[in-house]
Amino acid sequence: MTKDFSSVEKKLNLKFKNKDLLIQAFVHRSFLNENPDFKIFHNERLEFLGDAILEHIVTEYLYKKYPKEPEGELTIWRAALVNTKMLAKVAEELGFNDFLLLSQGEAKETGKARHYILADSFEAFIGAFYLDQGLEKCREFINKNLLKELPEIIESGIYKDSKSHFQEKAQEKRGITPTYSVLKESGPDHNKRFVVGVFLGRELIAKGEGLSKQEAEEEAAKNALGKKEWQ
């Protein structure tokens, strides 16, 4: 490993007490397949933690910032802030691409596959930062680097993706908020495919497939809109 992680700290103007946590945020599972003696584990547990921290902070911010907005609208805005596309965009702006520890094969991948890895690394970084610095520092970081995107999201209406659209229609026409469930997973851990079902109550409306749960959910919502003719 030849990456200088102190430059990440310098770029972001922060200092980790535990440098291993910082490095772990960038370790993709595929890297360990080629470097089994590497002393630091991959970032998937940190990603799990960071996802929850991120959602908590964004939810609290929206709740306090927009006291008159209904829950449905806040849910849609939150989804637009924490989806793969947005997290990958922010991670790329922060220079995370330069610090990812990937297998040689994975390092050659670009486009959609890299976006998922970048988004996952952003969540893992939040998890690592939380463990190292606590919730308040995480809140400051997310306010500065992610929540700045919200005004443009609201103004441009780019949050109106299929999932958001289907939720609006389902609440309007049926008085139900859609739920999503993973029906099938396949492929190796570093390159999984997901089949997700979207439900209204107990009724399965449609299925979707993707390289991440989010992508599969979006595809399921798109298919559900077509099936219900709610376009």
Q: Give pLDDT tens digits for 108-142.
A: 877 777 888 999 999 999 999 999 999 999 999 99
Domains in the chain: boundaries: 6-156, 162-228
Residue 121 confidence (pLDDT):
96
Q: Distances in Å between the alpha carbon of 168 and those of 55, 67, 100, 193, 230?
A: 21, 20, 37, 27, 10
Residue 2 confidence (pLDDT):
62
Active site residue 73: no
Which DSSP category does 175 fall into? S
Q: Which of 27-41, 60-74, 180-194 has the lowest mean pLDDT?
A: 180-194
The helix-helix angle for 44-65 and 112-133 (nearest 10°) equals 80
Mean pLDDT of 15-37: 94
Catalytic residue, from 47, 106, 120, 123: name it: 123
Active site residue 51: yes
Catalytic residue, from 47, 51, 161, 215: name it: 51
pLDDT score of 160 more than 70: no
In words, the CATH class of domain 6-156 is: mainly alpha
Please report which confidence band the pLDDT of residue 158 belongs to, taking 50, 70 and 90 as the band edges. low
Q: CATH code for 162-228?
A: 3.30.160.20
Q: pLDDT tens digits, residue range 173-224?
A: 899 999 999 999 998 776 789 999 999 999 999 999 988 888 899 899 999 9
Strand locations in 35-177, DSSP E?
Answer: none
Owner of token pair 């809109």: 225
CA distance 163 to 161: 6
